[in-house]
Amino acid sequence: MFSKVFFLALIPAIMAANHAVSVGANNALAFSPTTITAAVGDTITFTVVSRNHSITSARFSGAVCPPPPGGFGTNGFDSGFLSDLDGSMPTFTYTVVDTQPHFGACMQANGAHCRAGMTFAINPNSTQTYAQFLANAEAS
Ligand SMILES: *[C@@H]1O[C@H](CO)[C@@H](O)[C@H](O)[C@H]1NC(C)=O
Ligand SMILES: *[C@@H]1O[C@H](CO)[C@@H](O)[C@H](O)[C@H]1NC(C)=O
Ligand SMILES: [Cu+2]
């Protein structure tokens, strides 16, 4: 009995996936990949590999850039500023807790990185696409 309950409790941990996202690869103002499709319980690990950036949830439209300190929206997120200027490659991990689309950007330089396209989407859908979010960010 105990072992069966224990085994069932382990299943979500076994099924959960981790998704790796590179932040600032090749010194670019970019997340890679820009779209992450993840299930509830999955983790997304962002690794800052150049400069000094943030991983912050943003509005889909309107005043997208810069995203607000603390992050936008229900189940939002904000890594704060993470610097690789010392070569430490800091990481930030977000655990997916719902199936809604979440949009993110870097808040560095009062939104200049965000407006330059430093953006990403978690679980975008057919009405809130990554391409439209990127256009909204560049125009904000
Ligand atoms: C990273 O950027 C933030 C915001 O511009 C700044 O306050 C902080 O000092 C920077 N960190 C480093 C190590 O330069
Ligand atoms: C996409 O997500 C938004 C935000 O949750 C929602 O308002 C919209 O109805 C969704 N579209 C589809 C096709 O599910
Ligand atoms: Cu940045």
More confident residue, 123 or 11: 123
**Within-domain flag for 35:** yes
Please check whether residue 121 lies inside any domain of the structure.
yes
Question: Which of 103, 122, 125 is the best mutation target for the ligand 2 pocket, counting ligand atoms within 8 Å of the beta carbon and taking the most?
Answer: 125
Ligand 1, residue 83: give the atom nearest the CA: 13
Residues 6+ apart with CB under 8 A from 38: 17, 19, 44, 96, 122, 123
Q: How far apart are CA 22 and CA 36, in angstroms?
A: 12
- Measured in Å, residue 136 CA sits from the centre of ligand 1 at 26
70 domain residue, yes or no? yes
Q: Which residue has the higher pLDDT, 1 or 43?
A: 43
Q: What number does the ligand 2 atom closest to the CA of 126 have?
A: 13
pLDDT at 115 over 70: yes
Which residue has a Cα nearest atom 9 of ligand 1?
A: 81
Domain count, the chain: 1
Domain span at residue 24 reads: 16-139
pTM > 0.75: yes
Which pLDDT score, from 0 to 100, does residue 15 have? Answer: 77
Please report, for the domain that includes residue 47, its CATH number: 2.60.40.420
pLDDT in tens, 18-35: 999 999 999 999 999 999
Q: What is the pLDDT of residues 59-93, one digit of tens each?
A: 999 999 999 999 999 999 999 999 999 999 999 99
Domain assignment of residue 20, yes or no: yes
132 close to ligand 1 (CB < 6 Angstrom) = no
**Ligand 2 contacts CB of residue 99 (under 6 A):** no
Give the model's pLDDT for residue 77. 98
Is residue 7 included in any domain, yes or no? Answer: no
Angle at the Cα of 99 from the Cα atoms of 103 and 135, rounded to 5 degrees = 25
User: Hunting for tokens 């607000």 — which residue is that?
Assistant: 68
